Structure 1
């Protein structure tokens, strides 16, 4: 049973940082120009065994308190939970933000969270995506809602414990959003947004659902590994799991889906992300600037991402 608890929040617009000029890179660069060998050859991938390079590869998310401080900015946050069969019967929490001053049914962007975070992190004081959304709507742009659900450390695909965060999002959370009259959301077409682990997840779900139902996908610092010998067990349960769920080779699925990728030039996933984006036809919008795998960088690009998602949802 879904439990809905509305919370009225106070605007914190004054805290929104300026967005500096960013170079927009063409994502259609050849893989050779990237100086990194592509790993889409499944025959070569099966001849190696994955090595645990956890000590050599930085974690794909900063240490973040899984229980962030109360949300204090932007429009109201509606929260609830449901028992998820796709997550092994776990009580799964969710949160939805609708912009103030808007009535009627709204399209929705599914927000997929990073490792060591949860469904409320994107709405917390370090990111405040709902405040960015409110500013976008107040400027006269087409409104939409944001919706996030907690997948823990699942990485948005089926794991050895039987839990599948990706299936939970598509098979349980999305229908719940459509069928809850208190939320008044349309899910016929939806957008996807994610950062780090959630960036990978947003791209993976977009590749599964495809256009035209996925209106657009925007990601920050997606956690991508191109080398089948170099991925951590937190992301994949072994080589077979990696081969089944890696996004390398899935680029043709995005031929009709608008994609925006933002990543800092010093981010640990920068090379792999550029390598993956080089396989997209047509090219994705690819934005980069000085910055790392940090909340500060992710917050700085949210206005661009919200505008991109809103523009494509309104088409």
Structure 2
């Protein structure tokens, strides 16, 4: 019957949407967000609800970031965000974002250069275009070495699929090459995570409590601790989104500062 009713019918799709908007709007109003949500329509309700449940993206620090250095290796753009006061041979954290975002977008998405400056870290953060198809060990690290960076022992940082790659690469290279690894909501099950190969590497592992990867992340943390690994992180408020990743970035950069 609903399919035969017109678009303007209070019983049709628009009517149901308005009823949902009214109900959600009432809940948001109780939380002090009603006026904003009512002004921006159905998408605004969803976004406002997400902010209530997951938390918003914090404003970036006011710290003045260091310079960026752009280069290419095998036709692939590599962007390195330097700390405000780089050393002669600055150590590097390779960053693997979720998916195949380009290097500039992955750095800008989380204001990594500003958080790096605010952390006081003396390392650089390197992002690579289309990292899943990049030969990080065979081409990117030697390229960064020729650019004057210290790649003797590196840091690895990843989100979601990038977090799984950071853990995999750390396990492959071992503690002789990897000083520390950090992964936010890594897309890997506890059964397939290379836990025993990470025992000698300090690991930061975290996830938002409303992320469906939280249970497996917690299991991995317990497994690493049982093996005697140095671990930081944990399950905290948030979802599988940019807001969570940005909120934990200061903690991750402080972690790298202690181990690089």
TM-score (norm 2): 0.70
Matched, 1:278 2:205: no
Cα offset, 1:96, TM superposition: 0.4
1:222 corresponds to which residue?
A: 186
Which has the higher relative contact order, 1 or 2, with Cα contacts under 8 A spaced 6 or more apart? 1
Equivalent positions of 1:84-103 (< 5 A) are 91-103=75-87
Aligned equivalents of 1:133, 1:187: Cα separation in 2? 18
1-structure distance, mates of 2:73, 2:177: 24
Residue 247 (structure 2) pairs with residue 264 (structure 1):
no
How much is the aligned-residue C-alpha RMSD, in angstroms?
Answer: 2.0
Which of 124, 128, 139 lines up with 1:149 in the alignment? 128
TM alignment of 1:4-43, pairs within 5 A:
15-16=59-60
Matched with 2:117 is 134
Deviations 1:95-132 (A, max 9, x none): 101112334111111111211422223321x3111111
Q: Which of 173, 182, 204 is the aligned partner of 1:209?
A: 173
Specify the alignment match of 2:96 in structure 1: 112
* 3-state DSSP of counterpart to 1:279: helix
Report whether the alignment pairs 1:74 with 2:65: yes
| Contact 1:74/1:128 (<8 A) preserved | no
User: In 1, are the aligned partners of 2:214 and 2:235 still within 8 Å (CA)?
Assistant: no
Q: Secondary structure at the residue paired with 1:15?
A: coil
Verify the 8 A CA contact 2:66 2:85 in the aligned structure 1. Answer: no
Secondary structure, aligned partner of 1:120:
helix
Output one character per residue of 1:252-288: Cα deviation in whole Å (capped at 9) or x when no partner: 1111100011210011211222223332122522322
1:289 and 2:256 equivalent?
Answer: no
Aligned to 1:179: 146
Structure 2: how far apart are the matches of 1:268 and 1:196?
A: 11
> Which consecutive aligned stretches of 4+ in structure 1 deviate over 6 angstroms post-superposition?
none
Q: Which runs of 5+ in 1 are unaligned?
A: 1-13, 18-72, 84-90, 155-163, 228-245
More helix per residue = 2
SS in 2 for 1:266: coil
Q: Aligned residue for 1:59?
A: none
CA deviation after TM superposition for structure 1 residue 291, in Å: 0.6
State the match for 1:305 in structure 2: 252
Any conservation in 2 of the 1:212–1:257 contact (CA below 8 Å)? no
